Amino acid sequence: MAKKPPPPPAKMGPEDDRRLWKLVASTVTPRAPEKPEKMRSKARIRPVKSATALPLEQPTHLASIAPLRVSPEELKPAPVKVLKNPADRIEPNRKRRIVKEHDPIGARLDMHGLDQDQARATLEGFIRRAYDDGHRAVLVITGKGKIGHGVLKQRTPEWLAGPAVREMIAGVSTADQRHGGEGALYVALKRKG
């Protein structure tokens, strides 16, 4: 005569989960974090005394957690802010003269490698000096960023529209490909007067 199979387990509750979690946790010993090769020779790894030194957390019931749903529109990067007022852009004829270098680019600023605070202070000082020196157009190189949405590329138009330098600026436009394309800006300056 064959034995009857054991009865199916009853529905488990939170208390059963805690008991199982404690049982599993008691069999695990934590590993020390690995150090990079350069640091290994200097670092001392101390053994962990007890696996139960940390308080155990209660497991959550996965059925009660709703899955995260993200639409494809939410995954798209934020658009680059463009100056909204058309007066903030360089006049088309003046931009053409700057591109063809009929209006010379008086100075250039390359902001690669600067953080936001350094870049803003450097940019404002650069614009003031260029204005004081009587330059009519300058080139500001921001870089494109790793995927085309660099922080400096996005923030520079905001800084140029800020109260510190906006009175000196006649317009701002993206540079021509030969001067850096989307990773650079032409800044047209007003006449010192």
R_g of the chain computed on alpha carbons: 31
Q: Identify any residues that bridge with 137 across adjacent strands, giving them in sequence order.
A: 188
The reported pLDDT for the residue numbered 81 is 47
pLDDT at 82: 46
What phi-psi label fits residue 22: left (phi over 0), alpha (psi between -120 and 50 degrees) or beta?
alpha
109/127 Cα distance (integer angstroms):
9
pLDDT at residue 84, rounded to an integer: 44
Residue of 178, 158, 179, 155 whose CA lies nearest to 169? 158
pLDDT average per 10 residues of sequence, the chain (193 residues): 65 75 79 60 52 53 58 61 54 86 88 90 93 92 81 89 90 88 90 81
Question: Which pLDDT score, from 0 to 100, does residue 83 have?
Answer: 43
73 burial level (CB within 10 Å; 0-12, 13-18, 19+): exposed
CA distance 183 to 139: 11
Beta bridge partners of residue 109, listed in sequence order: 140
Phi, psi of 127 (to 5 degrees): -65, -45
Contact (Cβ atoms closer than 8 angstroms) between residue 83 and residue 89 = yes
